Chains A and B, each alone.
Chain A
Amino acid sequence: MNTPTEDHDLLRWLDGEMSAVEKTAFEARLETEPELKSEAELLQRLSLDLRTHLPAEMPVPYADFFNSQIQVRLAQEENRQSPTLGSRASVFQWLRLPWLLTSAAAMIALGLALWAPSTAPQAGQLVHSIYVPSSSIQARSYHSEEARATVLVLDGLEEMPADRKIVGFNLMHSEVDEALASTTLYDGEGKAVAVMSTHAKSQPVLLTAAPHTP
Chain B
Amino acid sequence: MPAPAAPDPGEVPDIDLVKRCQAGDTRAFDVLVGRYRGRIYAMTYHMIQNETEAWDLAQEAFIKAWRALPSFKMDSAFYTWLYRITHNVVYDWLRKKKIQGEGEFDDSRTEHRVAAGAEAVPHGDLPPDTALKNAELGKRIQQAISKLSPEHRQVILLREVEGMAYEDIAATIPCTLGTVMSRLFYARKKLQELLKDCYEYAH
Contact = CB atoms under 8 A, between A and B. Distances in A.
Q: Do A and B come from one complex?
A: yes
Interface of A: 7-8, 11-12, 15, 17, 38, 41-43, 45-47, 49-63, 66-67, 69-71, 73-75, 77
A12 B185 CA distance: 10
21 contacts: A11-B188, A15-B166, A41-B202, A42-B199, A42-B202, A43-B188, A52-B138, A53-B117, A53-B138, A54-B141, A54-B145, A57-B38, A58-B45, A58-B116, A59-B38, A60-B41, A61-B55, A66-B33, A67-B37, A70-B29, A70-B63
Of A62, A71, A74, most B-chain CB atoms within 10 Å:
A74
Contacts of A50: 141, 156, 160-161, 191
A35 to B, nearest CB: 11
A42 B59 CA distance: 37
B199 A73 contact: no
Given A42-B192, A49-B141, A57 B42 contact: yes
A69 B45 CA distance: 18
A11 B39 contact: no
B142 interface: yes
Contacts of A59: 38
Contacts of B142: 53-54
Nearest to B117: A53
Q: Is the interface of B mostly helix, strand, loop or mixed?
A: helix
Contact of A53 (B45, B120, B159, B181): B120
A53 B51 contact: no
B157 interface: yes
A56 B192 contact: no
B185 A8 contact: yes
A55 B199 contact: no
Interface string B147-159: 0000000001101
B83 to A, nearest CB: 11
B26 to A, nearest CB: 5
Q: Is the interface of A mostly helix, strand, loop or mixed?
A: helix
Contact of A67 (B30, B42, B66, B137): B30
Given A58-B116, A60-B58, A70-B29, 18 more contacts: A11-B185, A11-B188, A17-B165, A41-B202, A42-B192, A42-B199, A49-B141, A50-B161, A53-B141, A54-B145, A56-B162, A58-B45, A60-B38, A66-B58, A67-B30, A69-B59, A71-B30, A73-B63
Contact of A70 (B59, B137, B185, B195): B59
A70 B188 contact: no
Given A15-B184, A61-B55, A74-B26, A56 B42 contact: yes
B103 interface: no
Contacts of A77: 63, 67
A54 B37 contact: no
B34 interface: yes
A49 B140 CA distance: 11
Nearest to A56: B161
Contacts of B38: 57-60
Nearest to A64: B34
A56 B161 CA distance: 5
B141 A67 contact: no
